[in-house]
Amino acid sequence: MSMVEHWIGGERVSSGAGFTDLSPIDEQPVAQVARGGEREVRQAVAAAKAAFPAWARTSREERARLLHAVADGVERRVEQLALLETTDNGALLRSHLRGVMPRVAHNFRFFADWLLGLKHDDFETRGHTNHVSWDPAGVCALITPWNAPLMLATWKLAPALAAGNTVVLKPAEWSPLTASALADITAEAGLPEGVFNVVQGLGAEAGAALVDQPDVARVSFTGSVPTARLIGAAAARHLTPVSLELGGKSPSLIFADADLDLAVDLAIEQYDNAGQVCLACTRLLVAEEIAAQFTERLVDRIGRLRQGDPRDLDTDLGPQIHRRHLERVDGFVRRAKAEGARVLAGGGPNEELGGLYYRPTLFTDVPDGAEILREEVFGPVLTLQTFRDEEQAIELANGTSYGLDALVVTGSPERAARVTPRLVAGTVWVNCFFVRDLRAPFGGSRESGIGREGGTWSFDFYCDVKNTVSAPWAK
């Protein structure tokens, strides 16, 4: 089995150590991966720093052209990348083919085009002209999660490169393969050496070293709250700005006037990627009047979900990413049972399939304050609570330390207009879910993160925003 090496300064670089990458489909090895640390991180940051001046001076038009060339390369390899990522992280092949990999290409095209239109109108102050510009910040450290590796990497990478920065990407150790494939695509597209670098490794080694580099100008991280605290502390030593997109314990508010068929469809969507989605609205808050009918329909739908090999296009639920993660999910479920929660569906691993497959689970009668209502499980586990009225629904929705997103299902636009401003969330969906436009701001409140990215907000983070004030020129 060949070694997947780092990509540093436009060439493959080996390490003295490696780690084995396992497929969650069958827990069998799929690759040996170079295990980077302080040495490789310093080398990558140095390469990115050396490449920065020329890349920052490259015209907007040329940077945009190269990003479109990268998108072309992704589109030529959609099937290859989709199968590679499904093998590596266990997400559904049909999702990768139909949505995820096309979105990867779109990330590059969108930010390339947004760059060309990025401007702020000049304005006057007592005859003086104010001109706002976005100057590239320098070397950006991007640390990405395992649940949607390439899409979330390019969501950060595309605006960072478009802005004129150079990048060191550290992918998650449980799903590193598509980041390495992307390096080959960028080289083929003509991206200059050192502009994009990939260092693989463990978070405590490569990740920790990367965020503590004094030559890093920005850190963008998607992942857990505990890791974000460590990253924030390290970045603070150098006053490095950070963008943190963290976990969630998001609510679905289903009111009595909701379309029940729609409400059940949206609830089922929360099992997407076997529940390994930060945006999943896993706390179902249902009006008392419709709770029995909604629950009956939902349990029936859960029972009809098809679980199995994610490479089968008819599969609805694949495996958990790793043995350690499955045990973590199962620990939450076991403790919820012990606290008195009642299982309506699932409740444990899928014994028929074995391996890392966990049954889609639904709890009700959960005691107030129970762990399963407060902490992110990041697995196929939903809870169902009822509410009396609008006020209680909002109180329950906001009753966690998170604030990533929320879902409101109602037949009343007036109710939606009352409820949505009172929800603590970076994104609120009304009668829909997972509709993402790259022009919109994205991020979380409370422990769900710091900052917003998307559209101009991405350039605001990845750049030093400058205002140049000019006195009137003598005639």
Q: What are 203-239's pLDDT values in tens digits?
A: 999 999 999 999 999 999 999 999 999 999 999 999 9
Backbone angles phi, psi at 57, to 5 degrees: -80, -15
pLDDT in tens, 398-456: 999 999 999 999 999 999 999 999 999 999 999 999 999 999 999 999 999 999 999 99
User: How many domains are there within the chain?
Assistant: 2
pTM for this entry: 0.95
What is the reported pLDDT for 1?
67
Do 229 and 335 fall within a single domain?
Answer: no
472 pLDDT more than 70: yes
What is the mean pLDDT of the segment spanning 44-50? 98
Structural domain span for residue 257: 251-430
Does 192 fall in a domain? yes
CATH of the domain at 363: 3.40.309.10
User: What is the distance between the alpha carbons of residues 191 and 34, in angstroms, rounded to a whole number?
Assistant: 23
Same domain, residue pair 242 and 273: no
Confidence of residue 10 (pLDDT cuts 50, 70, 90): very high
Cα 84 to chain centroid, rounded:
19
Q: Give the pLDDT confidence of 268-308 residue by residue, as tens digits.
A: 999 999 999 999 999 999 999 999 999 999 999 999 999 99
Q: Would 208 be classed as within a structural domain?
A: yes
**Whether residue 242 is found in the same domain as residue 259:** no
The whole-angstrom distance between residue 253's C-alpha and the CA centroid of its chain comes to 23
Domain annotation covers residue 438:
no
Q: State the pLDDT at residue 16.
A: 86
Any idea what the CATH number is for the domain that residue 231 is in? 3.40.605.10
| Whether 311 and 386 share a structural domain | yes
Q: Which residues are catalytic?
A: 245, 278
Residue 315 falls inside a structural domain:
yes
Pair (12, 157) in one structural domain: yes
pLDDT per residue over 121-147, tens digit each? 999 999 999 999 999 999 999 999 999
Q: Are residues 64 and 122 in the same domain?
A: yes
Share of the chain above pLDDT 70, in %: 100
Q: What tokens appear for 402 in the block?
A: 């998170």
**Whole-number Å distance between alpha carbons of 295 and 282:** 14
Identify whether residues 130 and 269 lie together within a single domain: no
- 10 and 157 inside one domain: yes
Report yes or no on 412 lying in a domain: yes
* Same domain flag for 354 and 369: yes
Residues 281 and 145 in one domain: no
Structure token digits, residue 247: 């976990």
Query: 437 lies in a domain?
Result: no
Flag whether pLDDT at 2 surpasses 90. Answer: no
Distance CA(206)–CA(19), nearest Å, equals 13
The model's pLDDT over 155-210, given as tens digits with 9 standing for 90+, comes to: 999 999 999 999 999 999 999 999 999 999 999 999 999 999 999 999 999 999 99
Q: Are residues 232 and 364 in the same domain?
A: no
59 burial (CB, 10 Å; 0-12 / 13-18 / 19+) is exposed
Copy the structure tokens of residue 432. Answer: 């829909």
Helix axes 291-303, 260-269, angle to 10 degrees: 50
Q: Judge if 26 and 145 occupy the same domain.
A: yes
Going by C-beta distance under 8 Å and a sequence separation of 6 or more, which residues neighbour residue 253? Answer: 285, 393, 394, 397, 406, 407, 408, 409, 410, 419, 423
**C-beta atoms surrounding 474 within 10 Å:** 4
Per-residue confidence band for 475, with pLDDT thresholds at 50, 70 and 90: confident
In a domain, 435, yes or no: no
pLDDT score, position 18: 95
372: which 2 tokens?
């399963």
CA distances from 175 to 19, 185, 302, 333, 380 (A): 12, 18, 28, 25, 19
- CB count within 10 Å of CB 27 equals 13
Q: Please, are residues 301 and 117 in contact by the beta-carbon 8 Å criterion?
A: no
